[in-house]
Structure 1
Amino acid sequence: TDIEGYARGLGRRRPDIAVTILRLANMIGPAMDTALSRYLAGPLVPTVLGHDARLQLLHEQDALGALERATMAGRAGTFNIGGSGIIMMSQAIRRSGRVAVPVPKLGVMALESLRKATRNAELSRDQLDYLSYGRVMDTTRMRTELGFQPKWTTLEAFDDYVRGRGLTPIIGPEWVRSVEGRAVAVAQRWGS
């Protein structure tokens, strides 16, 4: 990005300054209020039909830990910071008890036009791409050169967000099991 370019330029002009750039994965946690945390907290979560984004997340406490480590280490360079592992968008929606509503990509953009007209938060093209494909980073240098290891995995960070926000399933697990049982019974009758 432009800001990274300016920071790298400073490092070239002033070799006496250790310029450290941290690229943080999408942060999540009980106290975080981000576009992603609001998106996943709604009862119905529109998803891009045919896509299941791979998400790598960073717990809010680990973000602070990374900033502290980078400050104390004084290592120059660019470091990707994220929790280990990934969670698929479909898994995140299920784990938070939300209901996915698959929409064609053009439909998501049409919904976005409606949201803009009603002055709600807008969805940028980058955010739409993120919801379609996700983002996963190579964090090898974070561990080997910066010496930082997040305490929370992506999955643990997400589960802490769900607990901390008090998200409860929109559709109870008992109802889902009941519907699954009936569907299996119908399929078995048709199969015999």
Structure 2
Amino acid sequence: MRVLITGAAGFIGQQVLADLCIHHPDWTLIAADIRALGNQWLKPNIETVTLDIAQPEQVRDCIATWRPQAIVHLASVVTPPPGMGEDRLHAIDVGGTRAILDAALEHGVEQLVITSSGAAYGYYPENAEWIDENDPLRGHARFAYARHKREVEQLLAQARERHPQLKQLVLRPGTILGKRVDNQITALFKKRAVMGIKGSDSRFVFIWDQDVVNIIRQGLEQGARGIYNLAGDGALSLREIAQILGKPYRPLSPALISTALRLLKPLGLTQYGPEQLDFLRYRPVLANRRLKEEFGYQPRYTSREAFLAFLAAQGMEAHG
């Protein structure tokens, strides 16, 4: 089988590439990314391709040339680099997915495995206590990442209706943790105290990175289709996270946080604006029943175990 992997130089992309290389040496893996892949990927069954996912012509040419049976579409921008504007973000996240879909349909690709996000559900007070895959996708007007994931999911839904021959496996991960993860969420855990929001539990669901990789491989092996939340069992509130870290938990008033962020961001003293309040206050807490019962995968770690494994990998002590 020929499998095209977009975003192959990314955090999950490199792990998927390495995993498939080991488990399926008879597959041809087309590793595509705008970033260069190192010499460690010079292997007999890996072809490296420079691809700007925001350029539809490049996407079309790539798929026309390699004719993959399956595409694993991981290319996305989680944390935009300084200076990257909204137009470029949208061109990568939404335009890139549209280009992949169009080219896949034009050239008879059989399966599309795509990572969406739990962020597609949005950050709202009326979110269900445990969000199921049938719950509405509302994104968030002030979060480009969540807004774009909702747009991507709309494109995918339209394609499922019009082109059911393309098997779609849509994965919606919660917060991904692993040995080498470093992002705005893990940064919260490295501060002297854990900041919370009064009146909000701010519950997190975690999924270990190798579980995500295993799910992608299983989906390819089985030619699976469907939509699945990716999360370990259970959830951790910020108060529980603080207890595990052995750090003070300091819940602040929403008005205070909003005002502080509104004043500090224009001064360059923080990269976050007032929208960060909803991001922490109304976390989408993902139910994983369908992943276990319908897809047939039991995550290796619960949310708590994934967090403890992350701390161990980071050399951070757990206290509870």
> Which bin holds the TM-score, normalised by the shorter protein?
0.7 to 0.9
Q: Distance in 1 between matches of 2:271 and 2:189?
A: 14
1:46–1:108 CA contact under 8 A, matched in 2: no
Q: Give the alignment partner of residue 301 of structure 2, picking from 152, 156, 161.
A: 152
Q: Which amino acid aligns with 1:121?
A: Q
CA distance in structure 1 between the partners assigned to 2:274 and 2:215 by the alignment: 27
Distance, in Å, in 2 between the alignment partners of 1:98 and 1:64 is 32
| Corresponding residue number in structure 2 for 1:22 | 171
In the alignment, is the contact (CA less than 8 A) between 1:8 and 1:19 conserved in 2?
no
1:129 to 274, 278, 297: 278
1:78 corresponding residue in structure 2: 227
Instruction: State the secondary structure of the residue aligned to 2:286.
Output: coil
Q: Which structure 2 segments of 5+ residues have no match?
A: 1-149
Do residues 163 (structure 1) and 312 (structure 2) align?
yes
C-alpha distance in 2 between matches for 1:137 and 1:100? 24
Give 2:270's aligned residue: 120
Relative distance call for 1:114 and 1:70 in structure 2 (3 A) is: farther
Cα distance 1:152–1:123, how it changes in 2: closer, same or farther (>3 A)?
Answer: farther
Map of 1:107 onto structure 2: 256
Match of 1:88 in 2: 237
SS in 2 for 1:145: helix
Which amino acid is the alignment partner of residue 167 of structure 1?
M
Deviation at 1:99, TM superposition (A): 2.3
CA distance in 2, matches of 1:166, 1:123: 31
* Alpha-carbon separation, structure 1, partners of 2:224 and 2:238: 34
Could you tell me which amino acid in structure 2 is paired with residue 62 of structure 1? D
Distance in 1 (CA, whole Å) between partners of 2:178 and 2:277 is 22
Alpha-carbon shift at residue 153 of structure 1 (Å): 0.7
1:184 corresponds in structure 2 to none
Q: 1:58 aligns with which of 185, 207, 225?
A: 207
Q: Residues of 2 paired with 1:149 and 1:123: CA distance?
A: 37
How far apart, CA to CA, are the structure 2 residues paired with 1:164 and 1:59?
12
Structure 1's unaligned 5+ residue stretches are 174-192
Deviations 1:74-125 (A, max 9, x none): 2222111110111121011121233222210011112323442225331563
Measured at CA, do residues 15 and 124 of structure 1 come closer, stay the same or move farther in structure 2, by a change above 3 Å? farther
Q: Which residue of 2 aligns with 1:188?
A: none
- Based on CA coordinates, which of the two structures has the bigger radius of gyration? 1
Task: Say whether the 8 Å CA contact 1:97–1:167 is kept in structure 2.
Answer: no
Change in Cα spacing, 1:52 to 1:113, as seen in structure 2 (3 Å) is same
Higher helix proportion: 1
Find the aligned partners of 2:310 and 2:274 in 1 and give their Cα distance: 24
Of structures 1 and 2, the one with the larger relative CO (CA 8 A, separation 6+) is 1
Contact 1:80–1:138 under 8 Å retained in 2: yes
Aligned to 2:26: none
One-letter amino acid matched to 2:253: P
Percent identical residues: 22
State the TM-score, normalized to the length of structure 2: 0.49
Tell me which residue corresponds to 1:38: 187
Deviation at 1:162, TM superposition (A): 1.4
- Residue 138 of structure 1 is matched in structure 2 by 287
The separation in 2 between residues aligned to 1:123 and 1:44, in whole angstroms, is 20
* CA displacement, residues 30-73 of structure 1 (integer Å, 9 cap, x when unaligned): 31112211112111222102322222111122122222222222
The count of residues paired between Structure 1 and Structure 2 equals: 169
